[in-house]
């Protein structure tokens, strides 16, 4: 129901993101989805990768602050109003979104949006009840 | 022999011949040592451990038999443990930064305040400030000794005191012009800020009566002196002191000499020590200033290690004062920083961040001076485990750490969260300070 995302604290300084992605690349870690939330001083990089545990070990060993977060991978119809439909369901269920970002790949005709919400269990149940497909880790990597 | 300067406040004491001055010092030292031995258990126990009794102090040279006092002693005996007078005789307290979360506290009796006003009055004399002058005190008023210390001395000489305290620069300058301020006392960096504000706002210097300034509570250079003098069209003089021994007014540069600060030896005995061994050094050699107060009642300090580096200038001064001078401060023997006049120890930062979830107790203080204002950035490393991946929560953490530090330092800081391991270490020992300011010549 949930998929794992790796979240990494990145200092806002020149070349730091490049260093990070190079580290993943050199260790054969494929970035499947990626989002960065930034502030003046730092950024939080969130990524979906094939081997979360390996990636977490690797980045911590290289001095990054990181953890794994559970998020929902939601299949959203790739048509106008597709995302709005899902957001309406969450709003009606009084679920707040911490953040979301879209996926590079598609599954069939659907776009994939990654959601982090305040009540993940409730959100998952609610969306599934409404016939919205949630993707598993295996399906997306 | 040249006539002593007519500006000397207390000619009898300030020009006293050395033999009489030293006799007075010995008498007062003996009395102080007797008093702390009787009234302060910490001093008594230390002296007993060192095998010294008050009666062993027979000459000024015997001072070196006495154990040192450190800032940590003030912390360990916080708040009143080193007070030598009964609590009912204490009429005021001031406080300064300790090395951890707690400040250090100093207590003053009525007599202490009189002595303080007397030594500050002498300092004002050094700057040729008299009863006809208008003295603007732009040091902070409050627990900090700067404001009230200068205030007491300026009142003592009968000057007109304008207690503006620090801050609100434009209003300060307006009052300076409207009230006809002739002398100002503040930190040198604040003086520079005022000068630049005057220049930038196109203030007409000819409308000011300002003549002289007494600047202290933080180190400054000859370069800064030139800048202040050029911007404000005044003579800028250096004043020294510390809360542990009283506050500002322990020593002061005179207009005539403008080289070194006369330390008022009838109230304070200076020693210069080898910082490593604690052995006294001969006059003229650079070392750590150690001060024994010999008239203080509330909280006398015996051989207090200031950690300020200077040397004694034994040569007579052209002003005619016989009290010896200490050279303008040359640096510190410890890692204390002075930021906007506030003493800051890296260990205070450490004490304020340990135990906060999500961060590691690794930190770096980066101090800079931006437009003549000291800016302190504290970099703190995150723990390897990221507590939350929402920006909002990390910003909350950042604010929490910032508030915790600000509460202990009493100073606003800029906080920067860092990746683990990003703060440089050398030989296992973290480096805690990067000071980009130029404060010492």
Q: How far apart, in whole angstroms, are the C-alpha atoms of residue B298 and residue B55?
A: 22
- Contact assessment for residue B268 and residue B293, using Cβ atoms and an 8 Å cutoff: yes
Q: What percent of chain A has pLDDT over 90?
A: 58
- Contacts with A109 (C-beta within 8 Å, 6 or more apart), sequence order: A77, A78
**Cross-strand bridge partners of residue A102:** A113
pLDDT score for A12: 83
pLDDT score for B425: 62
pLDDT at B427 over 80: no
Q: How far apart, in whole angstroms, are the C-alpha atoms of residue B377 and residue B367?
A: 6
Q: How far apart, in whole angstroms, are the C-alpha atoms of residue A3 and residue B264?
A: 74
> Which chain A residues touch B391 with a CB distance below 8 Å?
37, 39, 44
The third-level CATH classification (topology) of the domain covering B11-334 is Rossmann fold (3.40.50)
DSSP-based three-state secondary structure for A78: coil
pLDDT score for B2: 64
> Which chain A residues touch B419 with a CB distance below 8 Å?
9-11, 63-65
Q: How close, in Å, is residue B270 to chain A by CA atoms?
A: 47
pLDDT score for B319: 96
Q: What percent of chain B has pLDDT over 90?
A: 79
Mean pLDDT of B373-380: 94
Q: How close, in Å, is residue B400 to chain A by CA atoms?
A: 16
Contact A99 B390 (CB under 8 A): yes
Helices (H), B16-140: 18-39, 41-49, 71-76, 110-126
> Cα B433 to the chain's mean position, in Å?
20
Contact B395 A39 (CB under 8 A): yes
pLDDT at B424 over 80: no
Q: Of B389, B384, B381, which Cα lies nearest the Cα of B417?
A: B381
Q: How far apart, in whole angstroms, are the C-alpha atoms of residue B225 and residue B235?
A: 9
Task: Point out the residue among A11, A44, A99 whose CB comes nearest to the CB of B422.
Answer: A11
Q: Which residue of A has its CA nearest to B420?
A: A63
Looking at per-residue pLDDT, the higher value among B82 and B336 belongs to: B82
Contact A9 B382 (CB under 8 A): yes
What pLDDT digit, counting tens, does each position of B17-63 carry? Answer: 999 999 999 999 999 999 999 999 999 999 999 999 999 999 999 99
Mean pLDDT of B109-131: 98
Band (pLDDT 50/70/90 cuts) for residue B327 is: very high
> Which chain A residues touch B416 with a CB distance below 8 Å?
41
The third-level CATH classification (topology) of the domain covering B342-435 is GMP Synthetase; Chain A, domain 3 (3.30.300)
Token pair for B110: 């009525």
Q: How far apart, in whole angstroms, are the C-alpha atoms of residue B410 and residue B275?
A: 29
What pLDDT digit, counting tens, does each position of B183-217 carry? Answer: 999 999 899 989 989 999 999 999 999 999 999 99
CB neighbour class for A99 (10 Å; exposed up to 12, middle 13-18, buried from 19): middle
> Which chain B residues touch A9 with a CB distance below 8 Å?
382, 386, 394, 417, 419
What pLDDT digit, counting tens, does each position of A68-113 carry? Answer: 999 999 998 888 898 999 999 999 999 999 999 987 677 777 888 8
Measured from the Cβ of residue A113, the count of other Cβ atoms closer than 10 Å reads 19
Test mutation, A20, A34, A65, A118, chain B, max B CBs within 10 A: A65
**Residue ranges of the domains in chain B?**
11-334, 342-435
Q: Of A80, A120, A127, which Cα lies nearest the Cα of A96?
A: A120
Q: Name the packing angle between helices B346-353 and B391-409 (round to 10°).
A: 130
The string over B188-224, giving b where at least 16 C-beta atoms fall within 10 Å of a residue's C-beta and e elsewhere, is bbbbbbbbebbeeeebeeeebebbbbbbbbbbbeeeb
Please give the angle made by the CA atoms of B144, B145 and B147, to the nearest 5 degrees. 90
- Contact assessment for residue A3 and residue A70, using Cβ atoms and an 8 Å cutoff: yes
Please give the angle made by the CA atoms of A25, A30 and A34, to the nearest 5 degrees. 100
Contact B382 A99 (CB under 8 A): no
pLDDT at B429 over 70: no
pLDDT score for A104: 66
pLDDT score for B383: 87
Band (pLDDT 50/70/90 cuts) for residue B379 is: very high
DSSP-based three-state secondary structure for B381: strand
Contact B385 A67 (CB under 8 A): yes
pLDDT at B430 over 70: no
pLDDT at B297 over 90: yes
pLDDT score for B354: 84
Q: Computed from CA positions of residues B345, B348, B349, B351, in that sequence, does the dihedral angle turn out positive or negative? A: positive
State the number of CA atoms in the 13 A half-sphere of B185 facing the CB.
Answer: 35
Average pLDDT, chain B: 93
Helix (H) or strand (E) holding A26: helix A16-26
Domains of chain A, start order: 3-69 (3.30.2130.10), 71-140 (3.30.70.260)
> Which chain A residues touch B422 with a CB distance below 8 Å?
11, 63
ipTM here: 0.78
Token pair for B215: 């600047």
pLDDT at B299 over 70: yes
What pLDDT digit, counting tens, does each position of B125-136 carry? Answer: 999 999 999 999
Q: How close, in Å, is residue A101 to chain B by CA atoms?
A: 13
What pLDDT digit, counting tens, does each position of B391-422 carry? Answer: 888 999 999 999 999 999 989 999 999 988 78
pLDDT at B104 over 80: yes
Give the largest Cα separation in chain A, rounded.
46
Mean pLDDT of B230-245: 96
**Cα dihedral value B424, B430, B436, B439, nearest 10:** -160
- Contact assessment for residue B250 and residue B196, using Cβ atoms and an 8 Å cutoff: no
């Amino acid at each position: 129901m949930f998929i794992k995302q790796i979240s990494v604290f990145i200092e806002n300084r020149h070349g730091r993101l490049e260093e990070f992605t190079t580290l993943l690349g050199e260790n054969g870690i494929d970035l499947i989805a990626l989002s960065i939330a930034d502030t003046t001083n730092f950024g939080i990089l969130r990524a979906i990768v094939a081997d979360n545990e390996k990636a977490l070990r690797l980045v911590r060993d290289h001095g990054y602050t990181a953890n794994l977060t559970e998020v929902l991978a939601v299949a959203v119809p790739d048509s106008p109003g597709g995302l709005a439909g899902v957001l309406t369901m969450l709003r009606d269920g009084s679920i707040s979104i911490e953040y979301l970002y879209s996926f590079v790949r598609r599954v069939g005709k659907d776009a994939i949006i990654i959601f982090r919400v305040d009540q993940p269990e409730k959100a998952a149940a609610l969306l599934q009840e409404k016939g919205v497909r949630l993707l598993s880790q295996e399906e997306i990597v | 022999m040249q006539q002593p300067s007519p500006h000397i406040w207390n000619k009898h004491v300030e020009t006293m011949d050395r033999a009489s001055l030293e006799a007075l010092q010995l008498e007062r030292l003996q009395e102080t040592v007797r008093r702390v031995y009787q009234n302060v258990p910490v001093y008594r126990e230390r002296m007993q451990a060192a095998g010294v009794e008050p009666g062993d102090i027979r000459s000024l040279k015997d001072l070196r038999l006495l154990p040192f006092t450190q800032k940590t002693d003030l912390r360990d005996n916080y708040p009143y443990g080193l007070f030598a007078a009964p609590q009912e005789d204490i009429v005021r307290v001031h406080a300064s930064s300790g090395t951890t979360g707690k400040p250090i506290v100093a207590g003053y009796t009525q007599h202490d305040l009189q002595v303080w006003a007397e030594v500050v009055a002498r300092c004002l004399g050094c700057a040729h400030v008299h009863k006809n002058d208008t003295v603007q005190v732009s040091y902070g008023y409050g627990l900090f000794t700067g404001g009230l210390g200068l205030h007491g001395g300026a009142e003592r000489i009968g000057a007109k005191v304008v207690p503006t305290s620090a801050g609100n620069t434009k209003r300060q300058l307006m009052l300076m012009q409207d009230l006809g301020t002739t002398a100002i006392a503040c930190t040198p960096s604040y003086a520079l800020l005022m000068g630049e504000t005057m220049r930038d706002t196109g203030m007409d210097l000819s409308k000011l009566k300002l003549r002289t300034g007494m600047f202290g509570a933080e180190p400054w250079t000859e370069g800064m002196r030139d800048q202040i003098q050029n911007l404000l069209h005044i003579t800028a003089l250096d004043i020294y002191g510390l809360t542990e021994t009283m506050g500002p007014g322990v020593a002061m540069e005179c207009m005539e000499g403008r080289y070194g600060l006369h330390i008022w030896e009838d109230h304070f005995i200076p020693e210069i020590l080898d910082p490593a061994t604690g052995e006294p050094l001969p006059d003229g050699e650079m070392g750590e200033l150690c001060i024994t107060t010999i008239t203080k009642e509330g909280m006398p300090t015996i051989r207090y290690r200031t950690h300020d580096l200077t040397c004694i200038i034994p040569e007579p001064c052209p002003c005619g004062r016989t009290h010896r001078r200490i050279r303008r401060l040359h640096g510190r023997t410890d890692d204390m920083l002075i930021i906007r006049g506030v003493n800051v120890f890296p260990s205070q930062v450490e004490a304020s961040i340990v135990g906060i979830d999500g961060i590691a107790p690794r930190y770096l203080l980066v101090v800079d001076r931006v437009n003549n204002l000291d800016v302190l950035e504290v970099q703190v490393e995150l723990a390897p485990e990221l507590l939350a991946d929402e920006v909002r929560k990390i910003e909350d953490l950042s604010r929490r750490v910032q508030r915790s530090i600000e509460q202990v330092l009493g100073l606003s800081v800029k906080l920067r969260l860092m990746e683990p391991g990003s703060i440089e270490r050398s030989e296992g020992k973290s480096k805690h300070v990067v000071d980009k300011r130029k404060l010492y010549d």
